[in-house]
Amino acid sequence: MDTDMSLTVFRLHTLIVGLFIHTASSQQSVTQLHTISHQFFQHTLERDSFFDKFILGKEEQITFHPSLVTRPGLPKWLHFTQSHQTAHGYLYGTPLSTDQGQYELEIFGENLDTHESSRVLINIEVNMLNNKTFPDYHATLFIQNLNIEEILNVSMQEKLIDEFVPLWGQGSTVWIYGAMSAAELGLRNVVPINNEKQGVQVIVSSSQPPSSRLQENIQQLGCENDNPEIASFQDLNEFFDISWCEVTFDTITNQHLTSTTNLPIYLGGKFWAPSQTMDDSSDFIGFLLVVVVPSAILLAIVMILFCLMFCNRQGIEKRNQSTPEIQLAHHSMIRQASQELRSLSNRRDGGPTPVGSNTPQMAGTP
């Protein structure tokens, strides 16, 4: 009776706790974010406001773990970075036309010092791009003196655009189309020693073509040196260490951007196409070395052991034939004497006399 009552109380307790957790999760606020395809998206996970119920110190270590609600990981167009555990986290990326829809994210934050945790839900809605603001021209830059989290700073983006607009052409509208770290591109992954930067690839876009002055300066640039600078771009070179030899210009159309074909990332170097034919190969030598030779060695060892164990035994008849008669008679007398002593001992103790016991006789007596 007491066992049934305890089981009932336990089930009621479990049901109440489950309802409480479900109600709390359903009432949790969701951050709504909106973006459009082919537009650079970024969102900052501020460590101070993420743990709104707790007061954080400047040196407390916080880690963020973002993922989709329905499955682990992030969408292919969305990236996350956090330079160190005392810095903010950043979600960033550029969705394509095929990435339209709703994305429900959950961000888990953990305080490594106090082991406190918090969970935030984010809903990102990706809408269709308006053709009036369609980017027709791209320029890919590689900035060597920045990390990805530095270019995600809005003030740094504005400074880059302000310095780049006069080079692109006065009156043109230029914006950042995308950004990726060198580590994500597989170019380099430096050890953070002496504040060395990883480098970041930035794609700037515009609906107007770049100026001929900008393209001519880059085309006439001699790339024999490590990182030549363009003297007329001194204002831009003062803040951004751009690898001008790696600057590329692309003309993008609406058809290209809405295509579902995945284009490879060009990392430099030559492409060697794989061979379409297979060379004839013989496995006979490998078969001999792997199967035949070890089998022959094993068979020889077995034959040697067989000969040692079975072919070298002398047997009883051979042993008796090779033993002298006097040695056999001496051995027989010893056995008879032992039996007689055993029988005498039994008679003294009152035991029965063994049948067939004979008194030992000396050799030569009748």
Specify the CATH number for the domain of residue 41.
Answer: 2.60.40.10
Grade residue 125 by pLDDT with cuts at 50, 70 and 90.
very high
Does residue 132 contact residue 160 with C-beta atoms inside 8 Å? no
Query: For 65-103, how does the pLDDT look when each residue is reduced to its tens digit (9 = 90+)?
Result: 999 998 888 999 999 999 888 888 999 999 988 888 999
In a domain, 73, yes or no: yes
In a domain, 243, yes or no: yes
Total domains present in the chain: 3
**What average pLDDT does the segment 33-49 reach?**
88
222 vs 291: which has the higher pLDDT = 291
Give the whole-number percent of the chain exceeding pLDDT 70. Answer: 66
Q: Is residue 6 part of a domain?
A: no
Q: Per the domain annotation, does 259 fall within a domain?
A: no
Q: Between the CA of residue 103 and those of 26, 83, 129, 164, what are the distances in Å?
A: 17, 25, 17, 33
If asked whether residues 238 and 206 sit together in one domain, one would say yes
Query: Predicted confidence band at 42 (pLDDT cuts at 50, 70, 90)?
Result: very high
CATH number reported for the structural domain that contains residue 178 in this entry: 3.30.70
pLDDT at 278 over 80: no
Domain closes at, from 101, 130, 159: 130
- pLDDT of 342: 86
- On the CB side of 277, how many CA atoms lie within 13 Å of its CA? 3
**pLDDT band with cut points at 50, 70 and 90 for residue 179:** very high
Looking at the structure, tell me whether residues 149 and 234 fall in a common domain.
yes
* pLDDT confidence band for 275 (50 / 70 / 90): low
User: Residue 133 pLDDT more than 80?
Assistant: no
159, part of any domain = yes
Check whether 6 has a pLDDT greater than 60.
no
> How large is the average pLDDT for residues 293-318?
84
Give the per-residue SS3 of the chain: CHHHHHHHHHHHHHHHHHHHHHHHHHCCCEEEEEEECCCCEEEEECHHHHCCCCCCCCCCCEEEEEEECCCCCCCCCEEEECCCCCCCEEEEECCCHHHCEEEEEEEEEEECCCCCEEEEEEEEEEECCCHHHCCCEEEEEEECCCCHHHHCCHHHHHHHHHHHHHHHCCCCCEEEEEEEEHHHHCCCCCCCCCCCCCCEEEEEEECCCCCHHHHHHHHCCCCCCCCCCCHHHHHHHHHCCECHHHCEEEECCHHHHCCCCCCCCCCCCCCCCCCCCCCCCCCHHHHHHHHHHHHHHHHHHHHHHHHHHHCCCCCHHHHHHHCCHHHHHHHHHHHHHHHHHHHHHHHHCCCCCCCCCCCCCCCCCC
Q: Average pLDDT, stretch 341-364?
A: 62
* Residue 145 shares a structural domain with residue 200: yes
Which has more confidence, 56 or 341?
341
Identify the pLDDT of residue 19. Answer: 43
pLDDT at 26: 39
- Residues 124, 139 within the same domain: no
Mean pLDDT of the chain: 76
Question: In the structure, what pLDDT confidence band is assigned to residue 270 with cuts at 50, 70 and 90?
Answer: low
Residue 38: pLDDT band (50, 70, 90) is confident
Does position 183 have pLDDT exceeding 70, yes or no? yes
Over pLDDT 90: what percentage of the chain? Answer: 18
Predicted local confidence at residue 67, as pLDDT: 92
Q: Which domain holds residue 90?
A: 28-130
Domain for residue 210, yes or no? yes
**Per-residue tokens: 231:** 């003297």
User: Residue 20: its pLDDT value, please?
Assistant: 44
Has residue 351 got a pLDDT over 60?
A: no
pLDDT for the residue 68: 92
Give yes or no for residue 242 having a pLDDT over 90.
no
Is 303 a domain residue? no
List of residues 6+ apart from 221 with CB closer than 8 A? 228, 230, 244, 245
Residue 78 pLDDT: 93
**Domain presence at residue 346:** no
